[in-house]
Amino acid sequence: MVREIDLELRAGEILTLLGASGCGKTTTLRIAIGLERCSGGRLVYAGETVDCPEERRFVPPESRDMGMVFQSYAVWPHMSVYENVAFPLKARGFSKGEIADRVAEALELVGLPGLQERGGTQLSGGQQQRVAIARALAFQPRILLMDEPFSNLDTRLREQMRTDLRLLQQRLGLSILFVTHDQGEALALSDRVAVMHQGRIEQIGSPRDVYSRPATPFVRDFIGTALRLNGTLRGRTEHQATVALADGTALTVGGSIHLDPARKDGPVLLTIRLEDLTLHKEVRESAPNVVPAHIRALLFLGDHQEAMAELPDGTVATIKVPSNVDWSVGDRILIELPAASIQLWPAEPAP
Amino acid sequence: MLIALLLLAPIFELVLASFTFDAAASGADRFANWRESFSDPRIVGATLNTISLSLGRQAISLLIGVFIAWLIARTNLPARGWIEVGFWIALFMPALPLVLAWILVFGMINAGLQAVFPTMDAALDIYSWWGIVWVHLVTSTIAVKVFLVVPAFKAIDSSLEEAARTSGASLWATFGQISLPLIIPTLLVVTIVGLVRSMQAFEVELVLGAPIDLEVYSTVIYRAMSQEPPLTGQATTLSIALLLAVAPLVYLQERMARRRRAGALSGRFSNRVQNLGRARWPLFFMVAGLLAVMTVVPMVLLMMATFMKVFGIFDLANPWTLDNWTAAFLRGDIVRALVNTLKLGFSAAAIGMILFTGLAYAALHWRGRARQVLDFVTWVPALVPGVILSLGLLLMFSGVPFLRPLYGTMTVLVVAILFSTITIGTQLTKGGLAQLGAELEEAGRACGASFFFRIRRIVLPLIAPTIAVVGLEIFATANAAVGIVSLLSTGVTEPLSLLQLNLLNAGKLESAAVVGIVIATLTIGSALLARSIATRTGVGRYAR
């Protein structure tokens, strides 16, 4: 279900709609191509209004000239690869010779030459995926819409397809509207990411922005993992704040502050990305922004180790440490929280 | 093995009789019946009629039925759920009462036209090739297509259609190039089933073909047996010829149906419907109108006919009367036939429910040869036309010494009904049992429950809705059956359906209409009950 969306797909970019299932991302995509109609508002494609209930205007999907790749691939089982890819060209009345050229070109593009006569169902998942993309690209649309296209592939193939798609998009200068629930995919692939929640866009920005500077608590919790600490606000200036933890440790906050500007005290929530934390063995009493902890468990994973560090308030943080660090369970350590990486939020009621 | 023998015995009797009766009785020329039958020009005509009627019906009903099925399954046709139920009811419309209703409708249309254009001849003649095709189309032929094709369309992943729309194909191009080709395997099976059923058709041809000497295979067989003395030799040879013609089709259908089951669809599945746009309401009125023509119109007119002094004549001073109903119930034959029909329906249903459950259980639990034999023998009756099964049973009950005392009793009719419902009944119950899975029963076994305890306390309660549906199906079949019981019933055991046939043949159309209404009420009532049990419990939904 989609409540309110204000979104612009710019020429030559990959814009990803990211969100949990049921957040409205697929519906947004289906409205974009006209498989579903919006109940209000306006959808403009290349300067032309294609869906606007107030003006009783609706351009059906077959006339929108956008390519679409479905989650299930939707490769027609009763047609060969060639017939599948040729279909959009036949529907547009291309000549026989031109169809043959363009099909060959499209299959070449997705790396599937020589499989033209194969039946639609005699293909592996990855091949069906490529046929679906070739079919969507065959008539050379300016826009490609992709609905969770990689979710049915195994991990290795998914990463391969991700790279291939990025290269293809750059080569053809395509604009792609991409839907996924996989944040890694969204961050790796996109020029911009729109994080959706309950039918609205929570935040839209570059992958780096969305990851490092979440604008709302939802985006903060949805993307990546963060260490959360409860504290009390002790004082603040325009760009900095001082917060005391339960055991009295004082921390300086230099990252984004998502608090009412008038607030000067009261309970707050600190968050910091786990990868921004640094662990220290030797105790330097005077060092700023450090929290004592002790190691509860240590997992050796080959190229790195995972240390589970318990803080005085009982919070456990799983932190990567190099594999050559020689610690053991029970050791007392210090966790350093760089001020610039800490973000400050209003306190949340305990779940 | 005993069941196998019992099931195949009527067919064996047929073959035997074709070489021993009438012309072949002397023993000098065992093939005399065969030669005589096939040099008879009437038989050649009947063959051609059978073929042309079958093909005509199938071609038209496929076109219309598939389109309606697509509308129901894949588009946003208004009230499509109700329309689907409507076609399901149409599927159960008993043929003979509807023949009567359509005779009336055609008469009314002709009278109406002649009132406007006095010089015109009767425009529509129901006693004709087209009349027969029309009555078949509106009784069950279209409804069967809709019923069988809707599930196939529903099984299509809608992204296959949406991919076509986004590729630039219009709604209608998507229907023609994507949805339709995807269900071709189903269409082939449905066509073959339809052809088999058409070749077996009996009562419509019997009533509407007689005045114009239009014979088909089944009516020739019936007439050969109902004249005095009966031409058993000819009837049996023709029966075997028809069986041989139908057998390859049934075999083909079985093989295709099996292959289709193997190639199941996988992956993420969505079934969003296509938007019909401006055509939505016009199409709704067309389909709803057709449905009304198939169900409400004939039923209402048939009801009217029961209150008419003279069937189909409206311009009397006072055309209406209650005499038909009072006479019907005073005369006693209708009441007796009703009692017979109810006896037949209830006993066949009761025995069938137990028997078919046992067969289905065995078919699922037996292994190897025994199971193959069982599967085969429960399929065979499906390919035998009703009249021929009737003939085979007649020969069996009159020819086998220890069965002879049963001849002319209700038992014979019950056996006939069980024969004609064994395939569908066993299939439905098997579906119900298969859905259960073996684990539920095995869990009972692990708990130390004995076989009968498991059956009684675990299996039966769980498949009770399925069994109830089977029972109602048998009951509905018993009500409307004509061909299967046509040669087996004597005056004492005559059920409603045969009484109606006889009233029709005797020209007592008003009384026949009364009987028709009773049959239709019983059949449609039990069909609706079965449907509501099936949908509420979700069993046997598309198994019929």
* Helices assigned H by DSSP within A175-284: 183-189, 207-212, 217-222
DSSP one-letter code for B274 = B
Q: How many residues does chain B have?
A: 544
Q: Which residues in chain A are closer than 8 Å to B166, comparing Cβ atoms?
A: 33, 35, 61-62, 64, 66-68, 136, 145
The predicted model gives B412-416 an average pLDDT of 90
Cβ separation A78–B162 shorter than 8 A: no
Are B215 and B49 in contact by the 8 Å Cβ rule? The answer is yes
Q: Chain A window 128-167: which residues touch B at a Cβ cutoff of 8 Å?
A: 132, 135-136, 139, 145, 152
Given a contact cutoff of 8 angstroms between Cβ atoms, the answer to whether A279 and A259 are in contact is no
A49/A63 Cα distance (integer angstroms): 13
pLDDT tens for residues B277-303?
Answer: 888 999 999 999 999 999 999 899 888
Lowest mean per-residue pLDDT among A27-41, A207-221, B177-191, B382-396: B382-396
Of B152, B229, B151, B245, the residue nearest B196 (C-alpha): B245
CA B354 from chain centre, in angstroms, equals 22
In this structure, are residues B19 and B30 in contact, taking their beta carbons and an 8 Å threshold? yes
Per-residue pLDDT at B513: 87
Which of B196, B422, B163 lies closest to B274 in space, CA to CA? B163
Q: Record the tokens describing residue A41, joined without a space.
A: 């508002």
Q: Give the pLDDT of residue B24.
A: 61
- Spell out which residues of chain A touch residue B157, defining contact as CB-CB under 8 Å: 72, 74
Of B167, B178, B182, the CB nearest to A135: B167
The pLDDT of B208-219, averaged and rounded, is 87
Q: Average pLDDT for residues A329-333, to the nearest whole number?
A: 87
| C-alpha–C-alpha distance, residues A181 and A187, integer Å | 11
CA-to-CA separations, B251 to B12, B245, B386, in angstroms, rounded: 19, 11, 18
Residue B503: both structure tokens together: 């009233």
Contact A70 B267 (CB under 8 A): no
Name chain A contacts of B168, Cβ cutoff 8 Å.
62-63, 65, 88, 91-92, 139
pTM to 2 decimals?
A: 0.78
Maximum Cα interatomic distance, chain B, rounded to a whole number of Å: 84
| CA neighbor of A296 nearest in space, from A343, A328, A253 | A328
**Partners of residue B270 in chain A, C-beta under 8 Å:** 72
Query: What's the number of CA atoms in the CB half-sphere (13 Å) around residue B124?
Result: 18
State the helix-helix crossing angle for B217-226 and B386-399, rounded to 10 degrees: 30
pLDDT at B263: 37
Contact residues, A window 20-49, toward B, CB-based 8 Å cutoff: 33-35
* Contact between B166 and A62 (Cβ < 8 Å): yes
A53 contact B CB<8A: no
First-to-last C-alpha distance (Å) of chain A: 26
Question: DSSP class of residue A231?
Answer: E
* A207 Cα distance to chain centroid: 7
d(CA A211, CA A206): 9
Average pLDDT over residues A208-215: 91
Residue numbers in B near A91 (CB within 8 A): 164, 167-169, 173
Q: Does B177 touch chain A (CB under 8 A)?
A: yes
Q: What is the DSSP letter of B406?
A: G
| Strand partners for A319 | A307
Please say whether the beta carbons of A99 and A86 come within 8 A. Answer: yes
The amino acid occupying position B400 is: V
Question: pLDDT digits over B121-162, tens only?
Answer: 767 888 999 999 999 999 888 998 998 888 888 888 888 899
End-to-end CA distance of chain B: 26
d(CA A93, CA A181): 37
Strand order in the sheet with A278-280: A278-280, A332-336, A290-300, A304-310, A316-322
Reported as type and span, the H/E element at residue A344 is strand A343-346
Q: Which of A92, A132, A152 sits opposite B168 (nearest CB)?
A: A92
In angstroms, rounded to a whole number, what is the distance separating the alpha carbons of residues A253 and A255? 6
**Looking at this protein, which amino acid is placed at residue B99?**
V
| Residue B315 CB contacts under 8 Å (≥ 6 apart), including other chains | none
The pLDDT assigned to B280 comes to 92
The span from the CA of B39 to the CA of B22, in Å, is: 16
Per DSSP, the three-state class of A137 is helix
Strands laid side by side in the A241-245 sheet: A250-253, A241-245, A226-236, A266-273, A343-346
Test A87 with B184 for CB contact under 8 angstroms. no
**With 90 as the cut, is the pLDDT of residue B448 above it?**
no
Residue with tokens 């899975």: B437
Taking residue A44's Cβ as centre, other Cβ atoms within 10 Å add up to 11
Phi, psi of A17 (to 5 degrees): -95, 115
3-state secondary structure of B321: coil
From the list B426, B438, B420, the residue with the least C-alpha distance to B374 is: B426
| CA distance to partner chain B, nearest, from residue A272 (Å) | 38
Q: Does A67 touch chain B (CB under 8 A)?
A: yes
Cβ of residue A60 closer than 8 Å to a chain B Cβ: yes
Chain B interface, mutation test: which of A35, A71, A94, most B Cβ atoms within 10 Å? A35
What pLDDT does residue B540 have?
43
Give the pLDDT of residue B247: 77
Q: Which amino acid is at B491?
A: G
Instruction: Compute the distance between CA of residue B88 and CA of residue B68 in angstroms, rounded to an integer.
Output: 13
Is the Cβ–Cβ distance between B53 and B216 less than 8 Å? yes
Question: If you average pLDDT over residues B183-195, what whole number do you get?
Answer: 83
User: Residue A62 and residue B169: Cβ atoms within 8 Å?
Assistant: yes
Q: Is B167 close to A76, i.e. CB distance below 8 A?
A: no
The Cα B110–Cα B104 span in angstroms is: 10
Name the one residue in this structure whose structure tokens are 């027609």.
A76
Residues of A in contact with B277 (CB under 8 A): 60
A255 touches chain B (CB under 8 A): no
For testing contact with chain A, the best of B167, B175, B183 (most A CBs within 10 A): B167
Predicted confidence band of residue A350 (pLDDT cuts 50, 70, 90): low
Query: Which residues on chain B are in Cβ contact (under 8 Å) with A181?
Result: none
- CA A265 to chain B, closest CA, distance in angstroms equals 51
pLDDT of B444 > 70? The answer is no
The answer to whether residue B169 neighbours chain A at the CB level (below 8 Å) is: yes
Segment A93-106 shows an average pLDDT of 92
CB A9 within 8 A of CB A15: yes
Query: What is the rounded average pLDDT for all residues in chain B?
Result: 82
| Residue B315: count of CB within 10 angstroms of its CB | 7
What pLDDT is attached to residue A18?
94
B26, two tokens: 């002397």
| Residue B451 structure tokens | 């076989």
Residue B476: pLDDT band (50, 70, 90) is confident
d(CA B490, CA B5): 26
Strand order in the sheet with A67-69: A67-69, A143-147, A175-180, A14-18, A192-197, A200-205
Q: Which residues of B touch A68 (CB under 8 A)?
A: 162-163, 166
B173–A91: do the CB atoms touch at under 8 Å?
Answer: yes
What would the pLDDT profile of B51-63 be if each residue is shown by its tens digit? 999 999 999 999 9
Q: Can you tell me the distance from the alpha carbon of A71 to that of B267, in angstroms, rounded to the nearest whole number?
A: 9
**Out of B166, B170, B182, closest to residue A68 by CB:** B166
CB contact under 8 A, B162 and A63: no
Distance from C-alpha of A187 to C-alpha of A70, rounded to nearest angstrom: 21
Nearest CA in chain B to A136: B167
Q: Omega into A61 within 30° of 0, i.e. cis?
A: no
Do A91 and B182 make contact, defined as CB atoms within 8 angstroms?
no
Bridge pairing between strands A200-205 and A241-245: unpaired
Minimum distance, in Å, between the CA of residue A70 and any CA atom of chain B: 7
Give the residue, A295 or B378, on which the prediction is more confident.
A295
Give CA–CA dist B431/A181, Å, rounded.
38
For residue A205, the cross-strand partners are A193
Is the separation of the CB atoms in A276 and A225 below 8 Å?
no
User: Does B448 lie at the interface with A, CB-CB under 8 angstroms?
Assistant: no
Q: Are strands A143-147 and A67-69 parallel, antiparallel or unpaired?
A: parallel
Q: Do B166 and A62 touch (CB under 8 A)?
A: yes
Give the separation between CA B403 and CA B488, rounded to whole angstroms.
Answer: 14
Dist CA B407 CA B319 (whole Å): 44
CA distances in angstroms from A113 to A69, A87, A118, B290, B407, listed in the order given: 19, 17, 11, 51, 73
- Nearest-by-CA chain B residue for A147: B159
Question: How far is A151 from A337, CA to CA, in rounded Å?
Answer: 36
**Cβ within 8 Å, pair B167-A78:** no
Put simply, the answer to whether A70 touches B163 (Cβ < 8 Å) is yes
